[in-house]
Structure 1
Amino acid sequence: MTTKWQVYAVKYAERNTRTRKDSFIFDDHPAAQHGMDYFVWLLTDGTRNILVDTGYDEAEGQRRARPILRDPAQALAALDVNPLLIDTVIVTHLHYDHAGGLDRYPNAKFHLQEVEMGFATGPCMCDPTLQMPYTADHVCEMVRHVFAGRVVFYKGDGEVAPGVTVHRIGGHSRGLQAVRVETENGPLCLASDAAHYYENFQQRKPFPIVVDMEDMVQGFDKIQALAGGSASRVIPGHDPLVTDRFDEFGESGYLWRLDRLKA
C-alpha cells in the first residue's frame, strides 16, 4: 500500500512592497500592490518527516532587505519536529529563499536536480541577472555537502520515499523541481516556484524571473497533471491565498494543513 502523507505549509516571511508587475509578465494592472508569502513545507506519515526547502535566515533577510518573521527551522517545533532529526530535505531549487538554511539540518541528505547544481555553479552565474536569485554562500554550502556525500541527485523524475516523488519542471530556474505527494485525499503537488501564485498556472501568466519560458509554460500543465488534474491540489510557492484556502493548524498563526481543503 502506498504511504499517505500529511502536508503542512510553514510561513516564515512575507513581503508586501511588491506590485503585480513583479509577479506577472503580462498584466492589466501592473502597478497594483501584490503581496508575497514565503514558505517551507513539511511532509509526515506519522513516523518519518521530510522537509521541502529550507527558506532563508535572518542574515540573508537583512542583506536583501526582506526580513523574516521566524526562523523556519525553529518554526518546526510547533509540529513537534526537531530539525536535528530530519534526515531528508528536498531542495526544489537553489534560489536564496529556498536553500538558505541548509546548516540547520546537519543529519539530512539533500535531494536536488543534477542540472540545478550545474546551473548554479556554471558560467550562467557570471551574468548578474541570472545570478541575482542565488547566494554564493548557499551554493558553496551545497557543494560542500556534495563532497560529504550528502546530496542525492536526480535527472528528471525520481522517488524520494514511498508516495513522494520529484519532477523536474525548469523554467524559473534550470533545475527547478516540483514534489508530488500521495495523501488520503489524492495526489498533492507542491509546485514551489513552478507557480508562485495560482494566477501563474491557472491564467497562464508567466513569472518575470525565468530562465526558459517554454519550460515554464509547459510546467503549468505538468504541475496540474501531477495533482491528478485538480487545480485545488496544486500548492503555489508564494501565494498568500494558500493561507485562506486551507485550515490553519493549531494556534501558531504560521502553519496550515494542505492535504485537505478548508472545512
Structure 2
Amino acid sequence: MGAEIYRIYAIKYAHHHRMARDNFIGGDIHDGPMPIDYFVWVIQGAGRTIVVDTGFDRAMAEKRGRAIVRSVEQGLTRIGVDPAEVEDVVLTHLHYDHAGNHHLFPKARFHVQEREMAFCTGRCMCHAGLRHPFAAEDVKAMVDRLFEDRVRFRETTDTLYPGITLHRVGGHSDGLQIVRVNTERGWVVLASDAAHFFANIGRELAYPVVYNLGDMFEGYRTVRRLAGSEDRIVPGHDPQVLAIYPPAFDDAVGWIARVDLPPTTSPTY
C-alpha cells in the first residue's frame, strides 16, 4: 500500500519590497527590485488538514515594517479551513514570520524540532544579531503550549503521517525543518526558509539571515535530494510561486496557489 496523497496550498498573507542585494550574502551583481512574499501552507488529504507555519499579524507587520495583504485567517477561510478546528500545525522554525497569530489555533498540537526550541531559549539569544528574527512573544507562546501539553518535538528525520515527513536542515535557524509531502506528481518539498527564493538553490546563493552557513549549503543538497527534481521544490518567500503554480480558485490569482500541481512555467534564477 502506497503513501497517502495530499493537496498543498500556498497562501500569501504579506509582502515586503526590497532589492536583490539585500537577499544574498555578498549582494547580487544583477541588483534590482526583488520583493519578498510571506506564505503559510496547508496540506490536505486522507481526512487530514495540516497547517505549516502561522505567519504574523498586523501588529507584528507594523512593528517590522511589512505589509499584510490578507490575513492568514482570510486565506484559511477561503480554502474552507476553520483555524479553530485545526489539530496539527507544523512550525518549520520559530522566526517571527512563521510562528505568530497565537490566537488562531486553540486546539492544535504544534510540531517543532527540539533543537529549535533549545536554540531560541538558550544562550545564543544573548546575541542581538541572532535573536533579531525571533519575537519574544512567539517564544513565550511556545513555552505556554509546552506546559499545556500541546508541543510535539520531532526527530531530525521524522514521519508526521504517512506521506508527510519532516527533516531538520538548520542553517537559517538551528532547528529549521522542511516538509516533504506526497502528491499526485510525486514528493513535493516545502522548503520554507531552507530556500527563501528559487535562486538560493538554483544559483547556490546564501540568504543573509543565517546561523550556520555550512548547514545552509548542505540544506540545499538535502532539499534537492528529497524533492528528486527542482520543479518539486517550493521556496519559502519567492513571489514567483504564485506566478508559476496554478491558482487554487479563479479569484485566488496572486493569493493562493496549488503547489501540489505541476508548475505551468519554470522560475528564473
TM above 0.5, yes or no, is yes
Corresponding residue for residue 234 of structure 1: 233
Aligned runs of 1:65-76 on 2, under 5 Å? 65-76=65-76
Corresponding residue for residue 15 of structure 1: 16
- Post-superposition CA distance 1:26-80 (Å, at most 9, x none): 3443742211010000000062100000000011001111121121023211111
Give the Cα–Cα distance (whole angstroms) in 1 for the partners of residues 29 and 200 of structure 2: 15
Corresponding residue SS for 2:187: strand
Residue 249 (structure 1) aligned with residue 248 (structure 2):
yes
Corresponding residue SS for 2:66: coil
Aligned partner letter, 2:233? V
Give the Cα–Cα distance (whole angstroms) in 2 for the partners of residues 43 and 190 of structure 1: 10
- 1:262 Cα deviation after fit: 3.6
Give the Cα–Cα distance (whole angstroms) in 1 for the partners of residues 25 and 136 of structure 2: 27
Unmatched tracts of structure 2, length 5 or more: 265-269
Aligned partner letter, 1:245? I
Identity of aligned residues (%): 42
Give the Cα–Cα distance (whole angstroms) in 2 for the partners of residues 241 and 19 of structure 1: 15
Aligned runs of 1:169-248 on 2, under 5 Å? 169-227=169-227, 229-248=228-247
Aligned partner letter, 2:144? R
Corresponding residue SS for 2:14: strand
Structure 1 pair 27–65 and aligned structure 2 pair: CA distance change class (3 A): closer
- Post-superposition CA distance 1:211-241 (Å, at most 9, x none): 00110000001001111x2011000000011
Alignment RMSD (CA, Å)? 1.2
Maintained 8 Å contact 1:224/1:231: yes
Corresponding residue for residue 79 of structure 1: 79
Give the Cα–Cα distance (whole angstroms) in 2 for the partners of residues 61 and 131 of structure 1: 17
Greater shift in the superposed pair: 186-195 or 58-67: 58-67
Maintained 8 Å contact 2:21/2:28: no
- Post-superposition CA distance 1:124-146 (Å, at most 9, x none): 11111001100000000000000
Corresponding residue for residue 26 of structure 2: 26
Calculate the TM-score normalised by the size of structure 2: 0.94
Corresponding residue SS for 1:242: helix
Corresponding residue SS for 1:26: coil
- Aligned pairs, how many? 261
Aligned partner letter, 1:173? S
Maintained 8 Å contact 1:121/1:139: yes
